[in-house]
Amino acid sequence: ERAKPYGRFSPLPKHPALYRDIALLVDEEVPAAEVYGLVARCGLPYIERVEIFDCYTGPPIPKGKKNLALRLFLRAPERTLTDEEADEVQRELINRLQEAGMTLR
């Protein structure tokens, strides 16, 4: 009997990823998945992946708030991104998150 195939495989990227970390203050009742979804829906170029790697409440975070730390993985398929391009994507994402009521830490 044949083994069942695994899911689809992607070739390894030819160009390195850059990453940027963002720390946000959000209302404590806002689920991390909501923040993740907002980033995914932004449709900004070069965002390959987003990870939420920290969630913290307690001093010095204000009562009713929490700190969420995001890591953006940025990559262009055809070339290596410049720091300036990565910084521009980060700035635009921060603007959109602030428009949604989140505060940059």
Condensed to tens digits (0 to 9), the pLDDT of residues 50-91 reads 999 999 999 999 999 999 999 999 999 999 999 999 999 999
Domain with 68 in it: what CATH number? 3.30.70.380
Residue 63 lies in a domain: yes
Domain assignment of residue 80, given as a range: 18-104
Q: What total number of domains does the chain contain? A: 1
Which pLDDT score is estimated for 1? Answer: 62
Burial (CB count within 10 angstroms: exposed 0-12, middle 13-18, buried 19+), residue 42: middle
CB-CB contact of 74 with 46 (8 Å): yes
pTM: predicted TM-score of the whole model, two decimal places: 0.85
Residue 80's pLDDT is what?
97
CB atoms closer than 10 angstroms to residue 38: 17
**Torsions phi, psi for 19 (to 5 deg):** -130, 155
Asked if 7 and 64 touch (Cβ cutoff 8 Å), the reply is: no
In a domain, 8, yes or no: no
